Copies of this chain bind each other. A is one copy, B any other.
C-alpha cells in the first residue's frame, strides 16, 4: 500500500497548475518508485478555495482552471471567497504547497500560510521567494521547533538544485565564492543584446515571445535574481542576509557600446550574482558583469541558468539547467515533497 500524503495547494497560477499536471502524469511513478500516493485535499486561488478531505480530482481541477473556472466553483467542494490563509487553517493536509505570487513588500499571503502550516506541524514546500526573503531565519526556527520540514529548492532556479547542492553536497566546505546566473528573462535579453539588438528591442522581442512579462521590472532591475541570492546566502552560507544587503544593478542602462567594448576584450556581459567572502563577511551583489570567455557561466545561452561554487575541499563545482515553462519549478516542489515525506 502506498503512503497517502495530503496536500494543500495555495496558488493555481502557472506553477500551481504545473503541479496539478504532474499529479496527473506521475502518480504511477510516485507509487512504484517512492511508495507514495499524493492527493490534493485543498486548493486555493483568487476565487476562493476547494476543500475535500477525501481528495480533489487534480485532472478535473486542471481542466476547469484552464477553462477559466476558479477553485471556488469546484463542484460541492468549492468555497467562494475563502482566503488562502483560512484554506490552510481548514485543510486536512500533511504538506502545504505554497505557489502564490512573489510579493516583495511583505511576502504575504505566502508568509502567513507557511507560518500557519508549520505551526500546525505540516511540512511546507514553497516556490515563492517572498516569504523566504522576508523571514528565512524565523521560518527555519519555527519548522525545527515543530518538527516540520521546510522545502524551497524550487525557489532558486526551479529544477536546478542550487540549494540542495549547497546544503547537502558541499558538506563541511568553506565556500569562498558563489557566482550565478539566476534570472532567465534577463539572460535571454542579454544574449539577444550581445547579438546586436538594443535594450528596448531585445525586451520587446522577449515580451512577444512570452519570455518577459508585461511589467518586467522585477527581472530587469535585478530584484528577482537578488531574491535568489538572499535565499542562498541564508540557506547555504548561513548568514541572515536581506535584500538590503545586496548591491543591485539591473540591465536597463546597458547600451550597444557596452557590448561592443566587452566583445573587444573577449568578454561576455552577464547579469552576475555574486557572494564573495571577504574579511568582514560575504559581499553580495547583482550586476551586469563582463566575464572572460573561459568562465563556465559564459557558456550559458538563452533560457539557461547556472551556478558556480568555489570551495576549499570539493574544488570548483558548476551546475546549469536548460528548462522552460513552469513545469520544472513544479517538479522541484514535487521533489521537496518526496524528500520531506
A: which residues have CB within 8 A of B?
Answer: 22, 26, 29-30, 33-34, 153, 159-161, 164-165, 168-174, 238, 296, 299, 306, 311, 313-324, 327-328, 331-332, 334-335, 338-339
A-B contact pairs, 17 of them (CB 8 A): A159-B311, A159-B313, A159-B315, A161-B317, A164-B164, A164-B168, A171-B338, A173-B331, A296-B299, A296-B320, A313-B331, A314-B323, A315-B328, A316-B321, A317-B319, A317-B320, A318-B318
* Residue among A22, A159, A324 having the largest count of chain B Cβ atoms under 10 Å: A159
- In angstroms, Cα B332 to Cα A159, docked, is 23
A sample of 6 more A-B contacts (CB under 8 A), given A164-B168, A318-B320, is: A153-B169, A159-B313, A165-B319, A168-B339, A315-B322, A319-B319
| Residues on the B chain within 8 Å of A160, using CB | 317
Contact indicator A172/B335 (Cβ below 8 Å): yes
| Residues on the B chain within 8 Å of A299, using CB | 296, 299
How near does chain B come to A40, taking the closest CB pair, in angstroms? Answer: 16
Closest to A337 in B: B171
- In angstroms, Cα B315 to Cα A315, docked, is 25
Contact indicator A313/B22 (Cβ below 8 Å): yes
Contact indicator A29/B168 (Cβ below 8 Å): no
B173, B314, B335: the one contacting A171 at CB < 8 Å is B335
Contact indicator A168/B168 (Cβ below 8 Å): yes
- Copies in the assembly, this chain: 2
B153, B171, B311, B339: the one contacting A334 at CB < 8 Å is B171
How near does chain B come to A71, taking the closest CB pair, in angstroms? Answer: 23
- In angstroms, Cα B296 to Cα A321, docked, is 10
Contact indicator B315/A321 (Cβ below 8 Å): yes
| Residues on the B chain within 8 Å of A323, using CB | 314-316
- In angstroms, Cα B169 to Cα A320, docked, is 13
How near does chain B come to A184, taking the closest CB pair, in angstroms? Answer: 11
- In angstroms, Cα B311 to Cα A335, docked, is 14
Known contacts A164-B169, A169-B164; is-contact A331 B316 (Cβ 8 Å): no
Sorted from nearest, which 4 A-B pairs have the closest CB atoms?
A: A315-B323, A159-B314, A171-B335, A161-B169
B164, B315, B321, B322: the one contacting A324 at CB < 8 Å is B315
| Residues on the B chain within 8 Å of A174, using CB | 29
- In angstroms, Cα B11 to Cα A1, docked, is 43
| Residues on the B chain within 8 Å of A331, using CB | 171-173, 313-314
- In angstroms, Cα B174 to Cα A30, docked, is 12
How near does chain B come to A171, taking the closest CB pair, in angstroms? Answer: 4
How near does chain B come to A123, taking the closest CB pair, in angstroms? Answer: 15
Contact indicator B334/A172 (Cβ below 8 Å): yes
How near does chain B come to A341, taking the closest CB pair, in angstroms? Answer: 11
Contact indicator B318/A321 (Cβ below 8 Å): yes
Contact indicator B319/A332 (Cβ below 8 Å): no
